[in-house]
Structure 1
Amino acid sequence: MALVAGDMEAVNALIAERMRSGVPMIPDLAGHLINSGGKRLRPMLTLAAARLSGYSGQDHVKLAATVEFIHTATLLHDDVVDGSDMRRGKAAANILWGNKPSVLVGDFLFSRAFQLMVETGSLRVLDILSNASAVIAEGEVMQLTTTNNIATTEDTYMQVIAAKTAALFSAATEVGAVVAGLPEEKAGALATYGRSFGIAFQLIDDVLDYGGTSETLGKSVGDDFREGKVTLPMLLAHARGTAEEKAFWTRVVIPTQQREGDLERAIELMSARGALADTVEAARRHGEAAKQALGGFPAMPEREVLTDIVDFCVERAY
């Protein structure tokens, strides 16, 4: 964050400017989430990738704000779909304003994101970010088909997180290279970095839902479990379990059939079957792939930061 602090100040100022509206509820609701202490991880990746690519203009600021608007819009929509009551340690917007305003303000932020993309004048940037937006939506719909379905395969689960999480990480880093005019090979390497990092990030998020704290997550521990979301720790524990344990997972994946103490039992079984540890290990493998993708870039502070942040995010499981 210190490395891109100056650029991030410009991003935050642009976000505040583009959140303005003659409809007071829009900046109030959007600002509740955008100003709630989020890590700004995705826009930071865009800024660092642009600097790593040798970019010296100002369009990377617009692209970083675009990425944050897309991310925030998806969070507003996700919280409505999931019925979440907490986000970043605060009451979720859908709890304070209701579902309809949350969805509509999310739409407003998507629209602002597309306005910013167009202002860069790059069709390639527009292609990358608009495609990422479509893929994210596909991932969220795909996740609906896996929720409450313990028969979900690991391959399907990985497709879901590659779409709903990794697609935006990938786009965030790739556009940093594109706006700098780097060749396709280098832009592709940064896209690979972002995709692999995004998968690692989501795997750790899924572990933290069972082994983290509300302070670490910014939401309630066990939310995925209570919503019947099927994630890798659950799939591994189910696959390795006894007949009695498989019956437990089949029952608890349906929220209305959950009982008091089921979350604690789920965590116990995941630990006993090595599901949490193996999910962390999978995150480490994807993290290593992300770092290797940077091999063609020169040694400089931006490359070191992009490498270190992968380790930081993976090790937050501890």
Structure 2
Amino acid sequence: MENIIWYILLIIGVFIFLSSFFTVKQQTSVIIERFGKYHSIRQAGLQLKIPVIDKIAGRINLKIQQLDVIIETKTKENVFVKMKVSVQFKVIQTNVYDAFYKLEYPHDQITSYVFDVVRAEVPKLKLDDVFERKDDIAIAVKRELNEAMTTYGYDIINTLITDIDPDPQVKNAMNRINAADREKSAAEYEAEAQRIRIVAKAKAEAESKRLQGQGIADQRREIARGLVESVDILNKVGINSQEASALIVVTQHYDTLQAIGADANSNLILLPNSPQAGSDMLNNMIASFAASNQVGESMKRAVKRAPKEDFSKPTHRLIEPHQDEDDTPPENKV
């Protein structure tokens, strides 16, 4: 019987001895109370307490913690938004006593301050400004929390606004506005591109017309040079200039008719197109050349008869083709 009692006492002694020791994890503080009264704060490592008399009242986490607070509020234009504010905080190691005894529910306290600050700042701003100035709101939350929580032994490391979610209808409207702005910008860019294409095309056409005109002028110049050479050749074989010019014109006329007739799909009609058209054109040209020669010869005779008369001024006397018919050179009579 005595042996059993000794065994029981031994077991109780071992239990009491072992309960005198306890360990504290890293980044943790332990509050020790003696007979219900604060006694001491123990840090990481192996610690000793008096059994039955001392007890562990609580453990304080010294690591950085994060609390996510979701708040619904409205902006200046009465648009409701949901905001997610993440608060990163920790217990100040030298103020473990205040953190344990002064504040029972730190998360609730922090949440209340976050609600208070956000609902005071956001209604001053428009929805677009809320997105642009979210960092200013976060700074205001951190400043307010630091002033309040430092008294309770808490240090606010940082505050972040991680999400801003407007009402779904407002979000859809914003997306439509953004899409309309992008379409407007796209239309402006397309119009500018079209304008550039039109200007470039106009410049190209202008350059083409300029080169075409230059080509036509060169062509006519070469044609005129060829005609002069043809007239010189005809003069050498005894054909005068008037007859040579008439011959060239008539030849070109019939060449044109031949070119038109060679094209089966041509819709071109040459007027006049009668058989005597070439003969009439030749007679008209010869009559014109004869009249011009008569005018020239009359002016020469006038100069010979009155050499002192000033012919620099224009004369208005009309010389009829039938005047001085006997003085007309034989080669110019038709």
TM over 0.5: no
Which structure's CA Rg is the greater one?
2
Tell me the TM-score normalised to structure 2 length: 0.22
| Highest RCO, 1 vs 2 (Cα 8 Å, sep ≥ 6) | 1
Say which structure is richer in strand: 2
